[in-house]
Amino acid sequence: MDIRDECGFVYDDWSTAALPEALRNIGPRWLQALEASKDDPRLHVRPKPEVWSPLEYACHLRDVLLTQRERLYLALVEDRPAFRPMYRQDRPGLARYNQQDPAGVAAEIEFAASLLGRACSYLSPEQWQRRCIYSYPTPTERTLQWLGQQTLHEGTHHLLDVKRALS
């Protein structure tokens, strides 16, 4: 059983039957959080130099959702593909995360979560068990089920990060 202590996320709690809808529900939760804080100046401020701002976390999650969808399709057409890193640490500067419009990012998260949830809803039990090599933090063989669980964890954990930075 894989448990994330800080946010309490339990991977085994998320079956393949539950994952598509749970992934879709990431969008409305983030939309609500970003809408509620759209005028808060802390949205663009890093609480510590090494900790992303709430808007940077939101942009990161949007990019994760889009990247994971592409990885899912790659794993459906290739046997055990090794996923390239998404360069998560470089993106905030390269994509100017803190300069993006929070409302636009919220809408993009909702759209990306919907796309990923829909893609997952089409998977057969056998497809959920397809293997891939996930590169972060070290290359490790995983299933598409784990990929869905990991993405749901990202959406849950980073929302906690955002709420913590805004409280």
The 3-class secondary structure across 99-150, one letter per residue, is HCCHHHHHHHHHHHHHHHHHHHHCCCHHHHCCEEEECCCCCEEEEHHHHHHH
Average pLDDT over residues 103-127: 98
- The CATH code of the domain at 3-166 is 1.20.120.450
User: Which class for 7: exposed (0-12), middle (13-18), buried (19 or more C-beta within 10 A)?
Assistant: middle
Average pLDDT, the chain: 95
Look at residue 113 in the predicted model and tell me its pLDDT: 98
Task: Report the pLDDT averaged over residues 21-39.
Answer: 95
pLDDT at 1 over 60: no
Per-residue pLDDT, 137: 86
The confidence band for 109, taking pLDDT boundaries of 50, 70 and 90, is very high
Domain positions in the chain: 3-166
CA-CA distance, 14 to 133, in Å (whole number)? 21
Predicted confidence at residue 167, as pLDDT, reads 87
Neighbour-count burial for 133-164, b at 16+ CB within 10 Å, e otherwise: ebeeeeeeebbbbbbbbbbbbbbbbbbebbee
Q: Report the sign of the C-alpha dihedral through residues 102, 104, 106, 109, in that order.
A: negative
> Is residue 56 a contact partner of residue 96, using CB atoms and an 8 Å limit?
no
The pTM for the full model equals 0.95
pLDDT score of 134 more than 70: yes
